[in-house]
């Protein structure tokens, strides 16, 4: 059995939608650990280790807030361009702009960041699939904070 | 009925509508079509007027709804200071006698005798390299009418006994905004901050600041050199860059 990034994204989606607190998948070439932290709904993947498609190793137990240095080949990050409050939805009762597994095109809205009542829409700069969402809805984020990890289309 | 076109400061370009969904959305459309800086969208009514976090801004005929399009070259947190520029400009252009209590509520609401008369909503998108592709400053002023059931008590120019023509206010506001905008461009935030602080509502008083998950209490000490609210509690200070402000105790 081979697992690529698309499969991992699918697994994350399923686990995220489930009531599981922790999920561990061990295969000969890969170990995947998904864990909810302290009641939050974040899913953790370590960027360093996320495989490029068809790559073979994954160490994925880093806490969601751990500082992350680099992405796997080909993946790209969307980071906060400013300090502010991160919102996943255009309005509290509206659906999120994107979910894990969402495919986005260049120019699609990913989130809002509010600083002093300036609401800035962050857009995808290029086409891709959301692999991870690293901040909580309503969280105060620092400039440069990792928000999304995407895999190019 | 007024049919004359308003007189705008040099360089401003007016897009006038009888009715639009939202002047901010029109201004964003203009930004995407490459409209120049200082384009102004003005509508007699909005059918989809918005406030903070998608909240409805009821927008019947008789009030002022405008959005200004700018292309600031500064980082987002600095560009957000333009909300203070707009709030001070609006406070200074309302048609009331000088002794009237006109104050600014952090970050950029305008109050008359403690009640909200105007709201300002800034919207932008990131462009190349995390810079802002544009900035839209949306301004809604209750001239003829105001909502009766707002969470923060509201009022209108008419209610407070002022001359409620949106046309005249549009001219005065843009004239004042232009002067303060140039001041901000030339000298930065310092003097805008001083003008804003001179009108700050609840300064030195107890505040509640509502964040998404929690409400913080404390004394409103200051705004910092960037515009963040400085809240003091038990000797500790905390800076707040986003949230909604209410007085610690509801006042009449």
For residue B227, list chain A residues with Cβ-Cβ distance below 8 A.
116
Computed over every residue of chain A, the mean pLDDT equals 74
Domain that holds residue A5: 1-37
- Interface residue A144 vs chain B (CB under 8 A): no
**If pLDDT is split at 50, 70 and 90, which confidence band does A81 have?**
confident
* A69 and A106 belong to one structural domain: yes
For residue A79, list chain B residues with Cβ-Cβ distance below 8 A.
130
Nearest-angstrom CA–CA distance, A5 and A26: 16
What is the signed CA dihedral for B198, B229, B87, B91, rounded to 10 degrees? -30
* A24 and A92 belong to one structural domain: no
Q: Is residue A140 part of a domain?
A: yes
* A15 and A55 belong to one structural domain: no
> Does domain B13-197 bear CATH number 3.30.930.10?
yes
For residue A54, the model assigns a pLDDT of: 34
* A134 and A64 belong to one structural domain: yes
For residue B243, list chain A residues with Cβ-Cβ distance below 8 A.
85
Q: Say if residues B164 and B158 touch (Cβ distance below 8 Å).
A: yes
Q: Do B76 and A122 touch (CB under 8 A)?
A: no
* A61 and A135 belong to one structural domain: yes
**Span(s) in chain B for CATH 2.30.30.100:** 206-247
Nearest CB to B121 within list A92, A117, A143: A117
For residue B239, list chain A residues with Cβ-Cβ distance below 8 A.
none
State the smallest CA–CA distance between residue B75 and chain A in angstroms: 8
Q: Is residue A44 part of a domain?
A: no
Q: Is residue A145 part of a domain?
A: yes
* A87 and A142 belong to one structural domain: yes
* A33 and A90 belong to one structural domain: no
**If pLDDT is split at 50, 70 and 90, which confidence band does A66 have?**
very low
* A29 and A65 belong to one structural domain: no
* pLDDT, one tens digit for every residue, chain B (252 residues): 445 788 899 999 999 999 999 999 999 999 999 999 999 999 999 999 988 888 889 899 999 999 999 999 888 889 999 999 999 999 999 999 999 999 999 999 999 999 999 999 999 998 777 689 999 999 999 999 999 988 899 999 999 999 989 999 999 999 999 999 999 999 999 999 999 999 999 999 999 998 877 888 999 999 999 899 999 998 899 998 888 888 887 554
Q: Is residue A131 part of a domain?
A: yes
Q: Which H, E and C letters describe A34-100, residue by residue? A: EECCCCCCCCCCCCCCCCCCCCCCCCCCCCCCCCCCCCCCCCEEEECCCCEEEECCCCCCCCCCCCC
E strands, B142-214, in order? 206-210
State the smallest CA–CA distance between residue B36 and chain A in angstroms: 20
- Interface residue B37 vs chain A (CB under 8 A): no
* A60 and A30 belong to one structural domain: no
- Give the global pTM: 0.80
Position A70 pLDDT exceeds 90 = no
Nearest CB to A81 within list B107, B130, B241: B130
Nearest CB to A84 within list B52, B130, B241: B241
Q: Do A123 and B126 touch (CB under 8 A)?
A: yes
* A32 and A60 belong to one structural domain: no
Burial environment of residue B7 by CB neighbours within 10 A (0 to 12, 13 to 18, 19 or more)? exposed
**Residue with more model confidence, A127 or A21:** A127
Q: Do B76 and A90 touch (CB under 8 A)?
A: no
A94 Cβ contact partners less than 8 Å away, ≥ 6 residues apart: B54
* A55 and A33 belong to one structural domain: no
Nearest-angstrom CA–CA distance, B21 and B19: 7
**If pLDDT is split at 50, 70 and 90, which confidence band does A43 have?**
very low
Interface of A with B in 91-130 (CB under 8 A): 91-94, 113-123
For residue B62, the model assigns a pLDDT of: 95
The topology under which CATH files domain B206-247 is SH3 type barrels. (2.30.30)
For residue B3, the model assigns a pLDDT of: 56
Number of domains making up chain A:
2
**Span(s) in chain B for CATH 3.30.930.10:** 13-197
Q: A109 to chain B: nearest residue by CA?
A: B125
Interface contacts (A, B; CB < 8 Å) = 93
């Amino acid at each position: 059995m081979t697992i690529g990034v698309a499969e991992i994204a699918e697994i994350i989606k399923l686990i995220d939608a489930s009531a599981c607190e922790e999920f561990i998948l061990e295969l000969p070439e890969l170990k995947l650990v998904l864990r909810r932290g302290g009641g939050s709904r974040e899913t953790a993947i370590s960027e360093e280790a996320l495989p490029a498609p068809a790559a073979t190793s994954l160490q994925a137990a880093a806490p969601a807030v751990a500082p992350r240095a680099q992405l796997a080949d080909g993946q790209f990050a969307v980071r906060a361009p400013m300090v502010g409050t991160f919102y996943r939805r255009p309005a509290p009762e509206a659906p999120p702009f994107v979910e894990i597994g969402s495919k986005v095109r260049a120019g699609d809205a990913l989130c809002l960041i509010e600083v002093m009542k300036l609401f800035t829409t962050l857009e995808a700069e290029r086409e891709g699939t959301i692999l991870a969402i690293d901040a909580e809805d309503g969280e105060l984020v620092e400039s440069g904070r990792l928000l999304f990890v995407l895999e190019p289309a | 009925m007024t049919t004359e076109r308003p007189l705008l400061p040099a360089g401003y370009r007016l897009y006038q509508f009888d009715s639009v969904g939202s002047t901010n959305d029109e201004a964003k459309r203009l930004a995407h079509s490459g409209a120049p800086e200082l384009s102004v969208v003005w509508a007699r009514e909005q059918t989809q007027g918005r406030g903070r976090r998608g909240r409805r801004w009821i927008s019947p005929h008789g009030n002022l709804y405008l959005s200004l399009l700018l292309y600031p070259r500064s980082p987002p947190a600095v560009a957000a200071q333009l909300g203070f520029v707009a709030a001070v400009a609006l406070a200074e252009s309302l048609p009331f006698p000088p002794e009237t209590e006109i104050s600014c509520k952090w970050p950029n609401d305008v109050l008359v005798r403690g009640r909200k008369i105007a709201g300002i909503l800034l919207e932008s998108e990131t462009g190349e390299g995390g810079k802002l592709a544009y900035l839209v400053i949306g301004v809604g002023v209750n001239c003829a009418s105001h909502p009766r059931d707002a969470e923060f008590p509201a009022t209108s120019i008419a209610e407070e006994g002022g001359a409620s023509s949106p046309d005249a206010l549009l001219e005065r506001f843009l004239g004042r905004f232009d002067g303060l905008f140039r001041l901000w461009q030339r000298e930065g935030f310092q003097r805008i901050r001083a003008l804003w602080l001179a009108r700050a509502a609840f300064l030195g008083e107890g505040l509640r600041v509502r964040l998404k998950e929690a409400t913080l209490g404390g004394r409103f000490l200051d705004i910092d050199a960037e515009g963040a609210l400085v809240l003091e509690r038990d000797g500790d200070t905390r800076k707040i860059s986003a949230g909604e402000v209410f007085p610690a105790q509801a006042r009449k």
